[in-house]
């Protein structure tokens, strides 16, 4: 049996789909469906059973999960970077993760989990090393602290432990995330609903729309997860991005032009999109001042050293694939 926490969520559902593609259906899906609309992400997938996250934690910690567990993918977390309830965030993201990891170590179960590039804060070096980690909010701190716990445990581990510092992931099954969904998702809906994309103006000397992030398609994220699943001798914390920083303008252009291609219209460059008011710049939100990463770019040295050599989709490739999926399911 395989266990996937956050299975009805974005990355969790895509992992279940990829396990299904391997012929694996003996999957225990764990999530919190208090917001029931997330069920849609599981509706076309094959699982063996579902448990609420709190019921699962009690059952798993007490050894009442039947049958051997091949691996646990821990994708469940509160990912709202604007959540201010630190007690909730630490209990949900940190203590829950510690409890699962400790049980996995007791039962010698491979543990693959979601960390976050947010641990780097406003830094300019994105390398998996303590001196570069300066979280800007309590969400990032909860991920950072669990990574520190993992680092202490790795030297005495009984089974595989792998953490993935996800950069800006986008792709199918993220609609339920609302404001925390990717900019690609929001840009697509803006184009469909309003006929234009709205971007934040630049801050800290950065030109409008020129904030740069490492955007990675969820298919690439899942591929790396499965690579490590197949290699239980590999453990550690790894950046998971493309190693390529692209601007929000790049994402907006890719979304608009992918929609235009679907409508048999000619793609346009950035200047023309601005002239035609298909891109508009809006004031930067005060609530994000001092809490926003204007630049991210994954250092992939550790990941490549692990032997993972497959290329990653750039924004133009990944957005085209994603927009086609959104249009097909709209």
Q: Which of 96, 113, 120, 139 is catalytic?
A: 139
Neighbours of 79 (CB within 10 A): 20
Q: Which of 177, 227, 291, 292 is catalytic?
A: 177
Catalytic residue list contains 263:
no
Q: Which token pair is 23? A: 């012929």
SS3 letters across the chain: CEEEECCCCHHHHHHHHHHHHCCCCCEEEEECCCCHHHHHHCCCCCCCEEEEHHHHHHHHHCCCCCCCCCEEEECCCCCCCCCCCHHHHHHHHHHHHHHHHHHHHHHCCCEEEEEEHHHHCCCCCCCCCHHHCCCCCHHHHHHHHHHHHHHHHHCCCCCCEEEEEECEEECCCCHHHHHHCCHHHHHHHHHHHHCCEEEECCCCCCCCCCCEECEEEHHHHHHHHHHHHCCCCCCEEEEECCCCCEEHHHHHHHHHHHHHHHCCCCCCCHHHHHHCCCEEEECCCHHHCCCCCCECCCCCHHHHHCCCCCCCCCHHHHHHHHHHHHHHCC
CA atoms of 161 and 104, how far apart (whole Å): 9
* Pairing assessment for the beta strands 49-52 and 168-170 based on DSSP bridges: unpaired
Catalytic residue list contains 177:
yes
Contacts of 91 (CB under 8 A, 6+ apart): none
Work out the burial of residue 152: count CB atoms within 10 Å of its CB; fewer than 13 is exposed, 13-18 middle, 19 or more buried: exposed
Write out the catalytic residue numbers. Answer: 139, 177
């Amino acid at each position: 049996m395989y266990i996937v926490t956050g299975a009805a969520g974005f990355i969790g559902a895509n992992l279940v789909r990829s396990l299904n593609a391997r012929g694996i259906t003996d999957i225990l899906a764990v999530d919190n469906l208090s917001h029931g609309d997330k069920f849609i992400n599981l509706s076309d997938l094959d699982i063996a059973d579902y448990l609420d996250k709190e019921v699962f934690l009690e059952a798993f910690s007490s050894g009442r999960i039947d049958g051997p567990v091949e691996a646990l993918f821990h994708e469940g977390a509160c990912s709202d970077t604007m959540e201010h309830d630190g007690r909730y965030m630490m209990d949900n993201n940190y203590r829950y993760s510690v409890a699962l990891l400790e049980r996995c170590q007791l039962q010698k179960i491979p543990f693959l989990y979601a960390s976050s590039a947010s641990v780097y804060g406003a830094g300019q070096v994105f390398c998996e090393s303590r001196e570069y980690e300066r979280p800007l909010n309590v969400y990032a701190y909860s991920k950072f602290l669990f990574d520190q716990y993992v680092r202490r445990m790795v030297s005495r581990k009984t089974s595989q432990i792998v953490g993935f510092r996800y950069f800006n992931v986008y792709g199918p099954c993220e609609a339920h995330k609302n404001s925390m969904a990717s900019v690609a998702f929001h840009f697509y809906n803006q184009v469909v609903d309003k006929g234009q994309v709205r971007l934040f103006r630049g801050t800290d000397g950065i030109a409008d729309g020129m904030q740069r992030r490492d955007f990675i398609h969820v298919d690439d994220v899942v591929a790396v997860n499965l690579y490590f699943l197949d290699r239980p001798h590999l453990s550690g914390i790894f950046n998971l991005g493309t190693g390529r920083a692209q601007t929000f303008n790049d994402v907006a252009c890719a979304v608009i032009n992918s929609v235009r291609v679907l409508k048999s219209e000619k793609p346009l460059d950035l200047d023309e999109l601005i002239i035609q008011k298909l891109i508009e710049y809006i004031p930067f939100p005060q609530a994000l001042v001092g809490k926003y990463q204007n630049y991210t770019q994954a250092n992939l040295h550790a990941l490549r050293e692990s032997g993972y050599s497959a290329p990653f989709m750039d924004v133009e490739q990944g957005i085209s694939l994603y927009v086609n999926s959104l249009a097909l399911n709209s």
